[in-house]
A and B are shown apart, each in its own frame.
Chain A
Amino acid sequence: MIEARNLVKYYGDRAAVNDLSFEVEKGEIVGLLGPNGAGKTTTMRMLTGYLAADRGQAFVAGFNVAEKPMEVRKRLGYLPETVPLYTEMPVNTYLDFTAKIRGVPGKGRKRRIEEVMEMCRISDVRHKIIGKLSRGYRQRVGLAQAIVHNPQVIILDEPTVGLDPRQIIEIRKVIRDLAGNHSMILSTHILPEVSALCDRAVIVNRGRVLVEDTLENLERRSSAGERLRLEVRGPADEIRQMLSEWPGVASVSEIPPPPGQEGPEIGLFDLGVQPGADVREALAGTIIGRGWGLLELRTVSPTLEEIFVQLVTEDLAQLEEEDALEAGGVAAPGERLTGRKAYDEEMDEPTSLTEPLAETEPLAEDGAELDVASDTDERKIYPVAKVKTERKAAPAFLTENSPGPAEQKKAKSKNRAAQVDEEELDDASNGIK
């Protein structure tokens, strides 16, 4: 239903999108995933026809976006990153206008608007002026606008950005309700969103597709392999000895218990397991047989976040190498993850970089969010590239411990007094002479 074919877009001489291709099948929800400035918004704008591609082609519902823009637009619902709202209008008037320009016929228009307001849970504010609505309501009005003409293809640019966890869950419910009948792309840099909503993820960085696959495949593909978490009460050395000799266990590492929770003789182990080997049952039997206490044994599969960070980090590392080759030198180890300047410039919101990409979600109402929320506290993911903020040096009078005007005057008069003293002394000495 949606196809991007070798899309290229330059801003000045910097490629925001560079040879980007992917496809979305009918009825599929695809998450477009990437750090800030990866080219997600630009890609979506080219798919909608709002921006013209410099090279490459985009197809929506079988029509070439550049050649048949009107056919594409009729079949397309789009929620841009900044929600396009006429803030002076009441909600129902606004939706009436958007329905009209999207070509919803006059006959069923009113009913359709009611339906959409119901779907997006905004019926209770239908007569309110949009400018007076809260952020969450505005976002949902924006979503209503995108689906009012029941389009085949829906493109949502960061639909949950800036919302609180409750509102995020509401929006996700709306999006999930839409799934099935519509092909959908949604961009995000919030990873749980992809796990919660999408069938497939397209991970982009620096305007290119790094990986495009289903979530299960992505998790399987991770080089981390399968890992086991083991918590045992018993003599630590013996346990370690036994684990390292166990067939099928590739690596053993002991995890220091969190401070304050050190129990007597409790060992936490992280086991790397060779692919295909399931050692859990035998291992558990042996541990119990030896009279040790088996407190926990579970499989840890790599999360999407780990995969994402790994991919983006690798991509940036590759960029470093290319740069180093170009410069004819080797990048200093300290600069390893900072990326090059051009990349930094893409990062438009410095503040978003200091916040974790994935945050814990305290209010999980349903299962999908629950498993996402579990143990995220140990892996808050920070974006790999950091913006070097250049601060202007503060003027000298602010930084130095210089005396204020009053004190300066005092100091001056003191100096004068000292001078007078000296003169007097001179006079006196002259007199002596």
Chain B
Amino acid sequence: MKNTYYIVQRELYAYFASPIAYIMMAFFLAFSGALFGIFFSRDLTSVEVNTVMRGWATNVGFFLLIFISIITIRLIAEEQKTGTMELLLTSPVRDWQVVVGKFLATVVLLALTLAFTFFYILLMTIFGGRPDWLPLLSGYLGLLLIGGVSAALGILASSLTQSQAVAAVIGILVSIVLWFLGPLFVNQGPTGGAWWSQALDYASLSNHVDSFSRGSPDLKDILYYLSLVVLFLGVSVQVLKMRRGE
């Protein structure tokens, strides 16, 4: 457990030692802020505020996916390339501790970024908006979970290759496919009723957002996100082991 903590510490250090985290955070905040401005540019009734907030959370979720994919790219690929992975994996640290440490550091960064968006909520209440707090908070939980899935996916993509460019392409493309799996390709197409299209629809990341932003997060949605995280991280650990011929 201690080792994981040390890894988290170091990863956070690395995040804030390089400009990439600052740039991506600024970019994400600018984007979500702009979306917020657009969505709330009209006078809204309190019922409308909640529906608009739901739309905002879903859209922000997608950008979060891209944002996290980009900052996680270097996590393992870089260490493979510079040889520091050899340092970690010949120290008394287990492979999974390395992977989980990197994941948790990303989650901390993610939580920090999301915390900054509370500023918008603050603005809204100052100017008289009265949102329902329960859907709002559970919406944030949803965003955190989506970000977590994206972080795990980014780590997996990063473990597959030494080249950060390749890792970026894999990570971002798979994120996009996972997000649009249901709504774009299957649900509204001619195959809408077939069992496999329903299955694909269910596997889509965006299909599980709604229950969070409604304020009544479904246990099966939480489990869905968590199981994706475990799956991606588990595969990453196996990839690391495979590379060393185990």
Instruction: Give A contacts to B, CB under 8 Å.
Output: 9, 45, 48-52, 54, 70, 73-74, 76, 78, 80-89, 93, 97-98, 100-103, 145
What secondary structure prevails in chain A residues at the interface with B? loop
Report the minimum CB–CB distance from A154 to chain B (whole Å): 12
Q: Please tell me if the beta carbons of A74 and B82 are within 8 angstroms of each other in the complex.
A: no
**Which residues of B lie under 8 Å from residue A45 when comparing CB positions?**
86
Q: Give Cα distance in the complex from A50 to B13, angstroms.
A: 25
Q: Is the CB of A70 within 8 A of B92?
A: yes
CA distance in complex: A51, B92 (Å): 15
From residue 1 to 15 of chain B, which have CB atoms closer than 8 A to chain A? 2-3, 6-7, 9-10, 13-14
Q: Is the interface of B mostly helix, strand, loop or mixed?
A: helix
Q: Is the CB of B92 within 8 A of A103?
A: yes
B41 close to chain A: CB less than 8 A: no
* Contact with A88, one of B17, B85, B91, B246 (Cβ below 8 angstroms): B17
Which residues on the A side are within 8 Å of B85 (C-beta)?
Answer: 84
Q: How far is the CA of A81 from the CA of B83 in the complex (A)?
A: 9
A101 touches B90 (CB 8 A): no
CA distance A83 to B87 in the complex (A): 9
| A-B interface pairs (CB < 8 A), number | 71
Residues of B at under 8 Å CB distance from A? Answer: 2-3, 6-7, 9-10, 13-14, 17-18, 82-94, 244-246
B83 engages A83 (CB within 8 Å): yes
Nearest residue, chain A, Cβ from B85? A84
User: Do B6 and A100 have beta carbons less than 8 Å apart?
Assistant: yes
Given contacts A73-B92, A98-B87, A102-B91, 13 further A-B contacts (CB under 8 A): A50-B89, A73-B91, A76-B90, A84-B82, A84-B84, A85-B84, A88-B14, A93-B13, A97-B10, A101-B6, A101-B88, A101-B91, A101-B93
Distance A76 CA – B82 CA, assembled complex (angstroms): 21
Pick 6 A–B contacts, CB within 8 A, sort by A.
A73-B92, A82-B82, A84-B87, A86-B84, A102-B91, A145-B87
Distance of A247 from chain B, by nearest CB (Å): 60
Residues of chain B with a CB closer than 8 A to A81's CB: 83
Q: Please report the C-alpha to C-alpha distance between residue A87 and residue B84 in the assembled complex, in whole angstroms.
A: 10
Task: Select which of B9, B84, B94, B244 is within 8 A of A52 by beta carbon.
Answer: B244
Give the CA-CA distance A73 to B88 in the complex, in Å.
10
CA distance A54 to B18 in the complex (A): 39
Complex partner residue of A49 from B13, B82, B83, B90, CB under 8 angstroms: B90
Closest to B16 in A: A88
Contacts known (A51-B244, A88-B18, A89-B13); A98 close to B86, Cβ less than 8 A: no
Q: Whose C-beta in chain A lies nearest to the C-beta of B17?
A: A88
